[in-house]
Amino acid sequence: MTTCTVFVGPTLPRAQVEALLPHARILPPVRHGDLLRLGARAGDTVLIIDGLFLQTASVRHREIMYLLNRGVVVAGSSSMGALRAAELWRFGMRGYGEVFRLYRDGEIDGDDEVAIVHGTAEDGHRAYSDPAVGIRVALRDAAAAGVLSPAEADLALAEAIALPFRSRSFRAVETRMPADTAERFRAWRSAHDADLKAADARLLLTAAATGDPGLRPAGPGDEPARNVHTWIFDMWEHRYHGGTAEGEWVSDADAGAAIRLFHPGFRDHHRRHVLSWVAGMAPDHPGVAERAVAVARARGLRLPEPGGWLTERDLARPSDDVFITFLVRAFGAARRWAPSRWDLPPQLRTERSLAAGRAVVLAARRHDRGRPGAEEIDDVVAAVWGCAPGDLEPQAWDRGIPDLPTLRGIAAPFAGYVRADETISAMSAVMSVT
């Protein structure tokens, strides 16, 4: 079953959206991360009307391109939707309305043209200013109708653009006009719909409701969206993608942390995953470790001195074992950010594994006993892993975690709950089914 999601805030009230598109899922103005949370699939439709840009990071272009590559219909109008559609229409995002056209054709180019001040969701995102683009088009149309002279319209537009976007409004512009000019313009506006963004939004929603053939996925005639999955995008997806457990949202980042910490076979899965990448072989191949060592040595890789990825105890083991340990740590834990679900071994990157991870996260949330200190976190993780607290750092390296501060950050949300031996056993049991 396909879905239609609308991101809308001050441009149209919820009741109008529901009247025009009764079965749509209506969400607040879009912001960075929201599209990755949707889980949208091929055939679904995402309509972007409003979006946030100042109080939080705005929706990224790659988030939209990611949906386009998945066969999701993405269209925009009015405000943030028109802006992004004008930037991405070549890749298959569909744009509707006059604001989109103005941006696409280069007649306007400033983000502030659509910016307004508005209230919170609790007061219906009530608008407290008017967008420059709406004032611009109203002045243009009034001049075209002969109500204003071109010079009067140009002067009024310059006054509007000179104002900070928070202060822009038809009233503010009219107070700066000569009295007779303001009277003519005000009378013309009272007889015409000057809410350009609302008109564009209704156009988009009507197109969706009537099955407009122009509202289609990216395809022939559109430029392919290449190189969407950069490492930065993977971090975004790791942070914002996820699923629900008993109706509560859990990110893949948190579920992956639970898997990394509590799955009893994680260390071995991770070891084979890293070695398979070095060796260029399947992780379950019986010769993957030997091949990884041979490849690394053939490329001139040498063991470091103690104090790097190897401890004195590590160096006392057989030569090949030491080299394998070094490869796993050097290639599996040298990260610039917290480990993500994309670092998980494929066997533990399944929906079943992530669901088990979400269950553990939810249990920890519901039984949280406060933020523990570093020493308590170390004691809990050492108990889970069956090692001494002093051995935690090399144990963390063996699981793809680069250092103790990162380990403590990952484990802190769980440590307040995971204290008793029976709890540790229960969490490991949940993980072991995956």
| Least trusted range by pLDDT, from 43-47, 200-204, 246-250, 324-328 | 246-250
Confidence band of 147 (pLDDT split at 50, 70, 90): very high
Residue ranges of domains in the chain: 4-116+198-210, 132-193, 243-432
362-409 confidence digits (pLDDT tens)? 988 888 667 788 999 999 999 999 999 999 999 999 999 999 999 999
| Residue 94 dihedral angles phi and psi, to the nearest 5° | -95, 135
The residue assigned the tokens 């001195």 is 305
Predicted pLDDT at 6: 98
Count the residues in the chain: 434
- Give the global pTM: 0.79
Query: Average pLDDT for residues 307-334, to the nearest whole number?
Result: 87
C-beta separation of 24 from 4 below 8 A: yes
Predicted pLDDT at 422: 54
Tell me: pLDDT of 335 over 60: no
Confidence band of 1 (pLDDT split at 50, 70, 90): confident
Predicted pLDDT at 123: 76
Query: Average pLDDT for residues 327-336, to the nearest whole number?
Result: 79
Confidence band of 236 (pLDDT split at 50, 70, 90): confident
Predicted pLDDT at 149: 96
Please state whether 276 falls in left (phi above 0), alpha (psi between -120 and 50) or beta.
Answer: alpha
The residue assigned the tokens 């719909």 is 193
Apex 140 CA angle, 137 and 144, nearest 5: 135
Query: Average pLDDT for residues 138-146, to the nearest whole number?
Result: 95
Predicted pLDDT at 430: 62
Q: Is 399 exposed, middle or buried (0-12, 13-18, 19+ CB in 10 A)?
A: buried
Predicted pLDDT at 431: 64
Predicted pLDDT at 433: 57
Query: Average pLDDT for residues 173-190, to the nearest whole number?
Result: 94
Tell me: pLDDT of 169 over 90: yes
138 vs 188: CA distance, rounded Å: 9
Confidence band of 315 (pLDDT split at 50, 70, 90): confident
Query: Average pLDDT for residues 310-323, to the nearest whole number?
Result: 88
- The CA distances from residue 332 to 316, 371, 398, in Å, are 22, 29, 8
88-104 confidence digits (pLDDT tens)? 999 999 999 999 999 99
How many Cβ atoms sit within 10 Å of the Cβ of residue 329? 23
C-beta separation of 432 from 265 below 8 A: yes
